[in-house]
Chains A and B, each alone.
Chain A
């Protein structure tokens, strides 16, 4: 097991190197000049040139890459072109809202999606099943920002149950923290619930046809025991896999949700950095996202050993 984890962690290094190289080149080869953006709309060509020189953007690409890679190896993600702040500091400022949003979304999703999927499988073909599948299709189809605006209009502007926007740290109190997180989490979890409910339903239906389920029923176990102890546990591997895949979906959704609800998280930082062509920040955020994605997939793989004793690394 330890050897497996070590191997997998080592394997993340080439992945991250490739991501870093790709992002570095993609940013420099696409149109857009950070110096022109920094200088402002009224700046003269000479002022822009001075800033380019100052930021090292006139250096040859290999030189720029070598400087960045050198700093990266020392754990320095660089300094934002705009804010005169370390990118690490910017990321740390933004981690909490994104983690809170992702965690609350995940909790809402798991609490809703897995039971829905199991019930739909158990009542396969019935009205509950059709309703769950209908919701699932709708959940996939409705864009996150449309749902966001809809929920804001109904629950924040009209009913005034929740604030329209913003984020309060948990240090400001549990209720202010939760109050601002409910609508964004609901918005973001809908697509995720749709995905996981479908997979749960399919997996449980597969398992319910197995011989050992018939045996369990023959032993006189209750329906709940059959579903939870036998069916769900054996259907867990594909469900957990899809949760891992869904992390990518979650990262994409966070970018939109954070903009609609004005949550100052990593998603907003990414959008701002891309619009401003803030190369050091974009590179760092994408590296962090990539690392998190790789790490979550590793954790998912490790969780298989707990869910299925036959799996050994």
Chain B
């Protein structure tokens, strides 16, 4: 027998053996359970939603934890874990009673002590929580299900704070977990939410698995945003890590995943071309772009120069350059987001149209000497990449000298924390984006804090603005709160805390032949979703 024949015979034998071995080695299929396969906007790295403000960790929080109060789609605050609550006539004592039958994932009952510890930990980290805690004299458990919150003086945002829908969300944790200092990450991941975190199956960079919590007691009301009944209709949710957008889009089209949380806008036409895929705008409030100026260094240490920048900028060019399709953006003068209770035109309308002549005149008045604006340009996130070049162009047309420096987003977020001069590693301006739910009022929106060193990056310093924000926080009358919010918007545009350069929307893509029932919300929620084929 020749070498060639012998080789060919061996090859045939091997080929025949492969299916047999494959059959023998194939794992037995798991019992029929419904699984939702999802690609989120990023990989879950940190699992403590109080320790970080990262949105992916907030989304993880919504899977496994629950909140005392929640916001519905009309932006009303409604009880969630709380069954009933009352406030004393002097508005100094709030009493909260929990619903019956609430359990942690380890089977233990949720108690008032757990909630007090959770509020304290959240209040030590979150800016809105810190504000709330500055008004709290003490919190005390009355019985296993009831606790009181005693205030030093009336505070108008108690319920709004406890229903805060975005980072950091006041999630409830067992007392032993919530007693972890805010400076340390928790190491036990037990909540009372509709899904259980499957810690053993969590492979960072690969997948995160949640299973249905059989003992979860949903509210009887229908689900609406973060409020209402959180009914888990699938047994298992898998967040599959897929950093390459093109691969994720291909995987959705091929039916390998069911939901793609944030497909980039330039790939939407591919998804629109697929009969099996639907694009949902699950977050109708969308997101808002922000142009942030640094008050510490020239030229933006001068109010007139900041006003000149505001005169030069306008929203449409930013939105066209980044989003492109008008279906997914909106020119909106309201700093606290259009279609919300605090949506006003006053002051914010400056950004509807560039006025380069006015910008040049203001610069002349300010004695601007051509000091270059060091503008940080993020190059690696599709929804931010084109913002800085547009800002540079508009500022130049308005008479500014601009030094645009390109870097990846992670470098930018590191550099924006530096207070040094721009020539020594600092900066003058950068652009970012906010989820609308983060900026619905002047306390939760970081951009309006003008507490100098305590303010968000850019460190604006304005006593008048702080007075207005404090008045807003302590005001309990809704009409007066609205008036104060309007004054804050006008003041922000006058002193130039930042420019809101457009509202935009991020569609979520789903396999419409496989899943249904995805709720709207400030974050992607996975209760209420069911499989059509499950």
Chain A residues proximal to chain B, CB less than 8 Å: 31-33, 36-48, 50-51, 53-54, 80, 82-85, 90, 93-94, 149, 152-153, 156-157, 160, 163-166, 170-176, 178, 224, 259-262, 264, 268-269, 271-272, 275-277
Specify which chain A residues have a CB less than 8 angstroms from the CB of B456 in the assembled complex.
44-45
Having A93-B203, A152-B250, one finds 4 other A-B pairs with CB under 8 Å, namely A44-B456, A152-B247, A164-B247, A164-B254
* B74 touches A (CB below 8 Å): no
Specify which chain A residues have a CB less than 8 angstroms from the CB of B250 in the assembled complex.
152-153, 156-157, 164-165
Specify which chain A residues have a CB less than 8 angstroms from the CB of B253 in the assembled complex.
157
Q: Which residue of B lies closest to A176 (CB)?
A: B26
Known pairs A41-B53, A268-B205; A262 contacts B247 (CB<8 A): yes
Interchain Cβ contacts under 8 Å between A and B, 6 examples: A37-B413, A41-B413, A44-B127, A82-B45, A259-B244, A260-B244
Q: Which residue of A lies closest to B57 (CB)?
A: A40
Known pairs A165-B256, A174-B21; A264 contacts B241 (CB<8 A): yes
* B414 touches A (CB below 8 Å): yes
**Chain B 451-471 interface residues, beta-carbon cutoff 8 Å to A:** 454, 456-457
Please, how many angstroms separate the alpha-carbon atoms of A165 and B55 in the complex?
25
4 tightest A-B contacts by CB? A40-B53, A33-B414, A173-B26, A264-B206
Specify which chain A residues have a CB less than 8 angstroms from the CB of B43 in the assembled complex.
272
Specify which chain B residues have a CB less than 8 angstroms from the CB of A271 in the assembled complex.
243
* B246 touches A (CB below 8 Å): yes
* B22 touches A (CB below 8 Å): yes
* B10 touches A (CB below 8 Å): no
* B411 touches A (CB below 8 Å): yes
Specify which chain B residues have a CB less than 8 angstroms from the CB of A172 in the assembled complex.
26-27
Q: Which residue of A lies closest to B167 (CB)?
A: A42
Please, how many angstroms separate the alpha-carbon atoms of A232 and B24 in the complex?
39
Interface residue from A38, A94, A175, A264 paired with B26 (Cβ < 8 Å): A175
Please, how many angstroms separate the alpha-carbon atoms of A32 and B205 in the complex?
21
Interface residue from A149, A152, A165, A178 paired with B242 (Cβ < 8 Å): A165
Specify which chain B residues have a CB less than 8 angstroms from the CB of A260 in the assembled complex.
244, 247
CB distance from B423 to the nearest CB of A (A): 16
Specify which chain B residues have a CB less than 8 angstroms from the CB of A269 in the assembled complex.
205
Contact A38 B52 (CB under 8 A): yes
Known pairs A45-B417, A46-B454; A173 contacts B22 (CB<8 A): yes
CB distance from A181 to the nearest CB of B (A): 13
Please, how many angstroms separate the alpha-carbon atoms of A39 and B240 in the complex?
23
**Chain B 231-265 interface residues, beta-carbon cutoff 8 Å to A:** 240-244, 246-247, 250-251, 253-254, 256
Please, how many angstroms separate the alpha-carbon atoms of A85 and B25 in the complex?
31
* B303 touches A (CB below 8 Å): no
Contact A165 B54 (CB under 8 A): no
Specify which chain A residues have a CB less than 8 angstroms from the CB of B241 in the assembled complex.
262, 264
* B316 touches A (CB below 8 Å): no
Specify which chain A residues have a CB less than 8 angstroms from the CB of B354 in the assembled complex.
none
Interface residue from A33, A36, A44, A268 paired with B446 (Cβ < 8 Å): A44
Contact B411 A31 (CB under 8 A): yes
